[in-house]
Amino acid sequence: MSVNHGANLYDLSSKYGFSKDEFMDFSSNINPFGTSNKAKEYVINNINMVSMYPDPEYVSLKKSISKYCNCLDENIVLGSGATELISSFIKTVNPKKTLLLSPAYSEYEHELNKIGSDIIKFFSKEENNFAIDIEELVTDINKGNYDLTIICNPNNPTGFAFSRDEIEYILKNTNCYIMIDETYIEFTDTNTYSSTKLVDNYDKLFVIRGTSKFFSTPGIRLGYGLIGNKEVKNKINENLDLWNINIIAASMGEIMFLDNMFIFKTIDAMLRERDYLTNELSTINDLTVYPSKGNFILCKISSKKFTAKELRDKLLPEKIIIRDCNSFEGLSEYYFRVCILKPNENKLLVKTLKNIFK
Ligand SMILES: Cc1ncc(COP(=O)(O)O)c(C=O)c1O
């Protein structure tokens, strides 16, 4: 596995002699409250379904997604996590020249390199808290004659998010494909920030979503993409393997997208904890803390007392894992990212960091 991701718990637990569950993983951006109980109970009570093939058309799963995202079921494509969809959309569109908003999640570049796309990076700036000026971006897209622009919204690792109105403005004023990775969108106000509603009307738009982070199910590998462009959608579907979503992932999806209690409770708890962590981290003088619309917070060790790697190494024996962001182009060795965990774990992180920096 590439080292440019959150922690490899399998590797760390054998290195440090702690079990995987003992670590407080602030690096993987997964909702710490676990997944929908309704979905879990269904799987437990119906485990004999593993002896059956899934519905090859995934009719019920697509219905549930279309209700959840406010879009037509026929515009849904399914993938093994957001990861498979990032890969299949890039391979299908096969862009000669791509604009990549950066710093960003590394898989976009990885996939673009596989097909030899010419990659130009549009860097957000630290002095603007990594916010992006929409006019500047539109001008850049039009000047560069790109085939594809890739936006992670909210952006991992900076936490900046475009509103849906801004995405619509980009679509109205440019001509290239726009791929939006909404892996972290549920941690924002989706009514303001999500572009799923635009998909049925803009055929250059592809929205990708996963369930790993918000629904806390990275193990089932369930992702979905929303696309109105018939030609691209058919090509993606033609290249997907039959039954690419297993029956446990499909059944959980049918239930959890409609589990409103789980959804409201998760949003409420995560927003409260994000405020707590942002405020507490901001009181540490050695750190600059950037505002985030995701379930993670980007920080810089502005005093340069330690590098992020040194800080990570100090925290590991305390069973705390943070993300050293040095591998993100556009960030330096002093940046790290933490995600929101449970209240006690967040408190412990703050206490340990305050101790280290005192
Ligand atoms: C922005 C972004 N997109 C996609 C993924 C991968 O998601 P999935 O587990 O759905 O493949 C990640 C994982 O960290 C991510 O940060």
CB of 195 closer than 6 angstroms to any ligand 1 atom:
no
In the chain the first and final C-alpha atoms are separated, in Å, by 36
pLDDT of residue 8: 81
CA distance 142 to 174: 6
pLDDT of residue 2: 45
Taking residue 193's Cβ as centre, other Cβ atoms within 10 Å add up to 22
pLDDT of residue 10: 80
Helices (H), the chain: 9-16, 37-45, 59-69, 81-93, 107-114, 134-144, 164-173, 190-193, 230-239, 247-256, 260-282, 308-315, 343-357
- 61-77 mean pLDDT: 96
**59-69 and 247-256 helices cross at what angle (nearest 10)?**
30
Mutate to test the pocket of ligand 1, among 84, 183, 186 (most ligand atoms within 8 A of CB): 183
Residue 210 Cα to ligand 1 middle (Å): 7
Taking residue 279's Cβ as centre, other Cβ atoms within 10 Å add up to 11
pLDDT of residue 1: 41
Structural domain for 175, as ranges: 37-258
Q: CB of 149 within 8 A of CB of 185?
A: no
Question: Measuring CA to CA, which residue among 235, 236, 172 is closest to residue 204?
Answer: 172
Which of 241, 258, 275 is the last residue in one of the domains? Answer: 258
CB of 215 closer than 6 angstroms to any ligand 1 atom:
no
155 pLDDT band (50/70/90 cuts)?
Answer: very high
In a domain, 332, yes or no: yes
User: Does one domain contain both 253 and 265?
Assistant: no
Residue percentage of the chain with pLDDT more than 70: 98
- 248-255 mean pLDDT: 98
Which of 258, 286, 321 is the last residue in one of the domains? Answer: 258
In a domain, 187, yes or no: yes
Q: Look up the CATH number of the domain holding residue 155.
A: 3.40.640.10
Give tens-digit pLDDT for 140-152. 999 999 999 999 9
**Is 70 exceeded by the pLDDT of residue 290?**
yes
CB of 210 closer than 6 angstroms to any ligand 1 atom:
yes
User: Does one domain contain both 285 and 252?
Assistant: no
Which of 235, 258, 281 is the last residue in one of the domains? Answer: 258
Considering only residues 15 and 159, tell me which one the structure prediction assigns the higher pLDDT: 159
What is the SS3 assignment for 33-76?
A: CCCCHHHHHHHHHCHHHHHCCCCCCCHHHHHHHHHHHCCCHHHE
211 CA closest ligand 1 atom index? 10
Q: Whose CA is nearest to atom 4 of ligand 1?
A: 82
**Is 80 exceeded by the pLDDT of residue 3?**
no
Residue 283 Cα to ligand 1 middle (Å): 30
Burial class, 343, CB count within 10 angstroms (exposed 0-12 / middle 13-18 / buried 19+): middle
Burial class, 3, CB count within 10 angstroms (exposed 0-12 / middle 13-18 / buried 19+): exposed
Give tens-digit pLDDT for 206-235. 999 999 999 999 999 999 999 999 999 999
Residue 349 tokens read as 């992180």
CB of 81 closer than 6 angstroms to any ligand 1 atom:
yes
Structural domain count, the chain: 2
Q: Look up the CATH number of the domain holding residue 327.
A: 3.90.1150.10
CB of 158 closer than 6 angstroms to any ligand 1 atom:
no
- 306-312 mean pLDDT: 97
Scanning the structure block, which residue is given the tokens 């897209």? 141
Residue 157 Cα to ligand 1 middle (Å): 12
Q: Whose CA is nearest to atom 12 of ligand 1?
A: 183
**pTM for this model (two decimals):** 0.95
Residue 22 Cα to ligand 1 middle (Å): 23
In a domain, 75, yes or no: yes
**Is 90 exceeded by the pLDDT of residue 162?**
yes
247 pLDDT band (50/70/90 cuts)?
Answer: very high
In a domain, 1, yes or no: no
Give tens-digit pLDDT for 58-67. 999 999 999 9
User: Does one domain contain both 324 and 235?
Assistant: no
User: Does one domain contain both 279 and 177?
Assistant: no
Considering only residues 124 and 13, tell me which one the structure prediction assigns the higher pLDDT: 124
Please give the angle made by the CA atoms of 256, 260 and 261, to the nearest 5 degrees. 105
**Is 80 exceeded by the pLDDT of residue 26?**
yes
pLDDT of residue 98: 98
Burial class, 14, CB count within 10 angstroms (exposed 0-12 / middle 13-18 / buried 19+): exposed
Cis upstream peptide for 218 (omega within 30°) = no
Question: Measuring CA to CA, which residue among 142, 157, 143, 145 is closest to residue 101?
Answer: 157
**Is 80 exceeded by the pLDDT of residue 127?**
yes
CB of 105 closer than 6 angstroms to any ligand 1 atom:
yes
pLDDT of residue 20: 79
4 pLDDT band (50/70/90 cuts)?
Answer: low
105 CA closest ligand 1 atom index? 1
